[in-house]
Amino acid sequence: MASEHTEWHTESLFRGVFEAVPDAVVIVDGAGRIVLANAQCEAVFDRTPASLEGEPIELLVPDRFRARHPKRRSGYGADPNPRPMGLLRLAAVRRDGTEFPAEISLAPIEADGVHYVSATVRDITARIRDEERFRSLLEAAPDATVIVDSTGAIVLTNNRMSDVFGYPANELVGNRIDLLSPEGQEEANLAGFMSYLESPNGLRMGVTQELYVRHHDGHLVPVEISLSPLDTDEGLLVSVALRDVTERRRIQEESLRQRDELIATVSHELRTPLTSIIGYAELMTDLDELDLSRRARKLLGVIERNASRELQLVDDLLTMAYLNDNRLRVNLAPVDLAVIGRQVVGDHALRARERGLQLTMVEDEVAPVLGDFYRLVQVLENVVTNALKFTRPGGRVDVSVRDHGTMGMLEVRDTGMGVTPEEKAKIFERLYRAPAAIADQTQGAGLGLAIVRAIVEAHGGWVDLDSEVGVGTVVRIAVPHTGQPESA
């Protein structure tokens, strides 16, 4: 009785497991006939288990494959030690004759010395439809795109990868993403990708630094990259979109070149009459009071002052044009920074007094630097002019000259309005003007500090800025004694 109970219990357990399987399962004997089918067969094949039992397995095979199937089935069954077969993507047929894509796995079973084969069948119609929809979307994408799994291997690609970078799909799928990296950067780029997988947030196009993809023929292509994590049944995948920006960069460079040529041409045309106006104004100021009234002399001062300001703007535009076109020459020779400091402070002393500011200079004994005297004067003039411009009456501007290791340093410290951390990040950009300067209608074109940085870096030096709103700003300019650059 105990033995019968155990057999009954085992059979019930087997039947429960058999029916609980979410896929259709059929058990086939050596003659190829179905001896057992579970309830899921009705959902998959539109056939009840009872209607399948005793029927040949070929009943579930499409007509176009049915004639060949017995031979293939016999080959598997003839193996004395058949192994379970992994998922096979095949076609199956429903009771009404419609075919559907299926994943099928086979496993041998032995019971009471009789050999059977268990076939598990999963209808993957919905998955195939989703895959085709996804591939259609992938092919419709305007950018070359690869889909990469969590190991860094490429699992899918669109035709744009071949059009843009020359890689056919069969050379990409199965290989790691670092196949696209420039030579020597493969490991670093793969490590960066694996690090991204630890916290896979979307990275949109245009926020990446300058990156390159190795073309199939070996040359490097500048790209922008976007990364998008994809959660799938197979695990995390990442969509990597690659946009070739070669033509965009060419257009940008050509646009910059034409703009700078225009600036240079217009600036030259403006400089000549402005120089003439200033020259004649200076000559007229030498006339005595009989030839020039007090009112006329005052108006002449306004003309000279405004013409000088416009001439400075023209000079700044010319300097920026030369810097962008790599035509700015820096004539290096031993330079005494203290002489530069004294000259600039002396030139701006009257303006400081007119604005009610204290302008002072402190100098230590500093070894000569290797620099261009007139360009370094231009640098300090731009910084001091800014300090005077943005410091309110009653404040002060202090210029100091000192050594800084292998560098000579000019420092300008003011008690002006200061800038925010956000403004500080942009303050050395060309044409940038702080919102407070715009609101106060402070004169300027936003070129001064951009010129300062460009000239100082051309000397192998550096410039930095510390500032606190409402307290003031400190600008430090370092130029090497030996011509060797040093980090800030």
pLDDT tens per residue, range 462-476: 999 998 888 899 999
Is the pLDDT at 79 greater than 80? The verdict is no
Give the span between the Cα atoms of 243 and 121, in whole angstroms: 42
Structure tokens at 411: 């420092």
| Average pLDDT value over all residues in the chain | 83
Mean local confidence (pLDDT), 3-9: 53
- Of the candidate ranges 101-105, 231-235, 251-255, the one whose mean pLDDT is the lowest: 231-235
DSSP for residue 19: H
The pLDDT value given to residue 396: 92
pLDDT tens per residue, range 166-177: 999 889 999 999
Mean local confidence (pLDDT), 100-104: 92
pLDDT tens per residue, range 413-450: 999 888 888 887 777 776 556 655 544 545 555 677 88
Is the pLDDT at 215 greater than 80? The verdict is yes
Mean local confidence (pLDDT), 331-341: 90
pTM recorded for the entire structure: 0.49
Cα distances (angstroms) measured from residue 381 to each of 94, 166, 208? 87, 53, 37
308 or 80, which is more confident: 308
429 or 159, which is more confident: 159
pLDDT tens per residue, range 228-246: 888 887 788 888 899 999 9
pLDDT tens per residue, range 109-123: 888 888 889 999 999
Q: What are all long-range contacts of 91-94, with beta carbons under 8 Å and residues at least 24 apart?
A: 91/61, 91/62, 91/65, 92/44, 92/45, 92/60, 92/61, 92/62, 92/121, 92/123, 93/45, 93/60, 93/61, 93/62, 93/63, 94/44, 94/45, 94/46, 94/47
Mean local confidence (pLDDT), 203-219: 75
Mean local confidence (pLDDT), 19-37: 90
